[in-house]
A and B are shown apart, each in its own frame.
Chain A
């Protein structure tokens, strides 16, 4: 049986896949993708795939913690919970009960940029799912009792993924420190006092502003006939009223003027390091280059950081990289778990040495080819499932402006040179552009590795 209850968090890298050599014509069913925009602005993209008799329906709203402000941090994520909690026509709990009784399952996630609702169901339940989605897009209700109960759920979630998880704690602090102006500083789960403080009026205003058809995109992959999908869309979704576009996020993070550092001391056995540099927005070519750079540095056992830190020097238990890719320039991350009792400053120095080396010499021909092949295989793996197809369509439609750009990624990738990668290392991974967070064990904690021997 698989790992249970895992709301935990796949790295963004896994969600964003790029191809080196895949051509659209070689993607099964890719030539059958059909898109239509309803008069109210809701765009629907359908990818027929009859491999299994099921359907994945993903609805993306351009609303995330980036759209929040002090006082309502975490509201996007909390709102996501409320989307399951009752409408004026269906009592709290009915959404899930009705969907499950017809064989469907659902989930949702929120990021800094978007909120995404996922339904997975047998094709026989398709009309019911349209009915349920349109109902909560139109008639959401905010029962005060449910609002309070759901606060407890979110508090529990925050304690699990942030407060009782040393890595969660460190990443939250680094992100909040790296941005001084842009709302990417806001943790998506929200600050505790805001989780306790927001009001029903805040939720209602948020619903009006962001949950309009013209602020959403629906991606459907699976054993469906596009004509039937559009018939259901006309019946259930065309009546939703468009709203004025939400206010744009206009703040730009000013250039960072020098390295920022923070240190957390708490109960722990293993020190942790998280470094974050200001990078680029999802559609920028520079983000493709950063993907290649971070892949060469930290993706897989043959990567430079793994070989140096984990295999050669035993200065890390694990090392990895990640890249934020959203509407606005996000962060590029390198993180390490340091062995118990080891000096984290030394681990940090080794990371710096590897960055300096690639900034000076660039990648080898072999490393560049490897990064391309990994991307190509990742691309195919991502499209192996109907869920993966719905996710990939959403990534490209929302962050790149057009789902068809999914098929341009191979060419973009091919165009990246060794010098692009070297320059990205030199210009982005600079000390003056980064925030370094270190979590150190409180002095009382005994390193277990020593006990064990």
Chain B
């Protein structure tokens, strides 16, 4: 979601890569890589602390997750949580916005705060010698943001303009925002986490303050610290910094599972002059805690999760229709989207989409042979360890596990769970978790004048312009 806010991480000079960057998105080491030891503490006000000392580099990382996120945004005010995230660093505690930025950057540290659908997450990384400063800055940002009216106006304007800029850039990163909106519609998962231009314009500073007061409370916080630190010292600092925060009065937002889409519906987003069509084919998928998540990951690895996947083999390797095609599960508390994404030259829009649909049909018809299943298991196991290599990755993983009520066995037993995925388990998740090609929400971004007919072949079409100030049609 932060893709919208970070448009110009532009490449100067380095052009691209052969293989699309497929990394494993779940899994465990073949040799059973384990989480290093950690300790859990719950403060009286409900703040959960996780401490993992790890002394291989003189660095420290801290991640704070605050339950809430854009699910707590009022309808029509999407982007409230995201603006709060932006404002946490625009003046907090004893520092104004410039002083706050100078404190972070002067120490060579990093601190980012971003909103997700279900939480606000602050991630910090500092040299170990600046541990005290890091805890001070993170707690100031989350507990003492100034929420200054002038800074609010600037942040809101910038957020709106950033979306306009993103729409001028490669549209690929926008597919998920349109896809979620079109798939989930009025369900809370359909809201754009960062808001749209129109909803952002409607957000007031009072909305932001209310979100802050209702959600950023003790019993909503999970804090993980990983790196080179003294356990007692950091535990004491965290207790002092976060221990007096009151519990929440308001209820945490809850969400029910969305129903799957039946039949097809097509959203055509007109980007005049585009020479490629960017497409997204999706349906409601699976949650983070789905008991069948390991088998789903194995099947998705084969279908669209690695370079030699069925989708990339058909659309890229064999036909040269695209630079890349893939599929993924967006795993939240409840099932998020399962989406297939790719892009192709305008003239081959129908050919590429039909091939993607046929490949989905083939998955349902043929399943996986034994050699492919074994390859996918080994791949997931082999690619897992680098996902928990750095302090920041470990801190992020720890808060994510606690947020979803998962234990260390989610990591430690993964290799074994992957090894246990067999033929019947594969067949079961293909039937249950992967959509049929007849039941899909479809998004196409491209030159509508040239692909309107192609869109109509897929199902009933709703059309909007990419410059419309929202991600969903009216």
A binding-site residues for B, Cβ under 8 Å: 1-12, 15, 26, 28, 51-54, 77, 80-81, 83-84, 92-93, 96-97, 100-112, 120-122, 124-125, 148-157, 159-161, 163-168, 171, 187-189, 266-270, 272, 299-303, 307, 310-311, 314, 317-318, 320, 322, 324, 326, 330-331, 333, 335, 337, 339-340, 366, 369-370, 372-378, 380-381, 383-387, 445-449, 451-453
B9-62 CB contacts (< 8 Å) to partner A:
9-25, 29-31, 33, 56-59
Contact of B198 among A110, A122, A380, A452 (CB under 8 A): A452
On chain B, the residues within 8 Å of A168 by CB distance are 10-11, 170
Looking at chain B's contact residues, the main secondary structure is: mixed
Complex contact A54–B17 (CB within 8 A) = no
Stretch at the interface among B104-112, B183-191, B434-442: B104-112
Complex contact A9–B161 (CB within 8 A) = no
Contact of B10 among A11, A77, A81, A307 (CB under 8 A): A11
Q: Give the CA-CA distance A70 to B466 in the complex, in Å.
A: 37
Complex contact A333–B12 (CB within 8 A) = yes
Chain B interface residue bracket vs A: 35 or more
Complex contact A164–B274 (CB within 8 A) = yes
Q: Give the CA-CA distance A81 to B385 in the complex, in Å.
A: 27
Contact with A along B83-110 (1 / 0, CB 8 A): 0000001000000011001101111111
Q: Give the CA-CA distance A310 to B157 in the complex, in Å.
A: 11
Known contacts A8-B11, A105-B379; is A386 also within 8 Å of B389 by CB?
yes
Smallest distance from the beta carbon of B150 to chain A beta carbons, Å?
10
Complex contact B106–A96 (CB within 8 A) = no
Contact with A along B162-203 (1 / 0, CB 8 A): 111101111111000000000000000000000001101100
Smallest distance from the beta carbon of A227 to chain B beta carbons, Å?
21
Q: Give the CA-CA distance A188 to B388 in the complex, in Å.
A: 33
Contact of A267 among B9, B158, B273, B318 (CB under 8 A): B273
On chain A, the residues within 8 Å of B127 by CB distance are 373, 376-377, 380
Smallest distance from the beta carbon of B272 to chain A beta carbons, Å?
6
B200 to chain A: closest residue by CB: A452
B316 to chain A: closest residue by CB: A153
Q: Give the CA-CA distance A307 to B108 in the complex, in Å.
A: 18
B126 to chain A: closest residue by CB: A377
Complex contact A109–B59 (CB within 8 A) = no
Q: Give the CA-CA distance A389 to B132 in the complex, in Å.
A: 28
Complex contact A452–B197 (CB within 8 A) = yes
On chain B, the residues within 8 Å of A166 by CB distance are 168-169
B77 within 8 A of A: no
Complex contact B320–A378 (CB within 8 A) = no
B302-328 CB contacts (< 8 Å) to partner A:
306-308, 313, 316-324, 326, 328
21 inter-chain pairs at a CB distance below 8 angstroms, sorted by A residue, are: A5-B172, A8-B16, A100-B308, A103-B381, A105-B23, A108-B17, A112-B13, A156-B322, A159-B275, A164-B170, A165-B169, A269-B167, A270-B165, A311-B97, A314-B157, A366-B102, A370-B106, A374-B105, A377-B126, A385-B390, A446-B467
Known A105-B23, A387-B386; 17 more pairs at CB < 8 Å: A5-B341, A84-B18, A105-B379, A106-B307, A111-B13, A153-B322, A156-B345, A167-B8, A267-B273, A270-B161, A307-B98, A317-B7, A369-B106, A374-B108, A448-B163, A448-B469, A452-B160
Smallest distance from the beta carbon of A353 to chain B beta carbons, Å?
18
On chain A, the residues within 8 Å of B33 by CB distance are 52-53
B243 within 8 A of A: no
Closest 8 CB pairs of A and B: A103-B382, A9-B11, A152-B320, A377-B108, A373-B108, A188-B15, A149-B320, A302-B101
Q: Give the CA-CA distance A163 to B274 in the complex, in Å.
A: 9
Complex contact B164–A448 (CB within 8 A) = yes
Complex contact B382–A102 (CB within 8 A) = yes
Complex contact B331–A1 (CB within 8 A) = yes
Complex contact A125–B382 (CB within 8 A) = yes
Complex contact B306–A270 (CB within 8 A) = no
Complex contact A122–B16 (CB within 8 A) = no
B114 within 8 A of A: no
Q: Give the CA-CA distance A8 to B344 in the complex, in Å.
A: 17
Smallest distance from the beta carbon of A299 to chain B beta carbons, Å?
8
Known contacts A52-B386, A101-B375, A311-B154; is A378 also within 8 Å of B165 by CB?
no
On chain B, the residues within 8 Å of A373 by CB distance are 105-108, 127
Contact of B19 among A15, A54, A84, A159 (CB under 8 A): A84
On chain A, the residues within 8 Å of B316 by CB distance are 153
Contact of A26 among B58, B168, B379 (CB under 8 A): B58
Smallest distance from the beta carbon of A147 to chain B beta carbons, Å?
10
B349 within 8 A of A: no
On chain A, the residues within 8 Å of B329 by CB distance are 1
Complex contact B154–A448 (CB within 8 A) = no
B276 within 8 A of A: yes
Q: Give the CA-CA distance A166 to B168 in the complex, in Å.
A: 6
B383 within 8 A of A: yes
A370 to chain B: closest residue by CB: B106
B125 within 8 A of A: yes
Known contacts A12-B12, A122-B31; is A5 also within 8 Å of B378 by CB?
no
Q: Give the CA-CA distance A41 to B375 in the complex, in Å.
A: 36
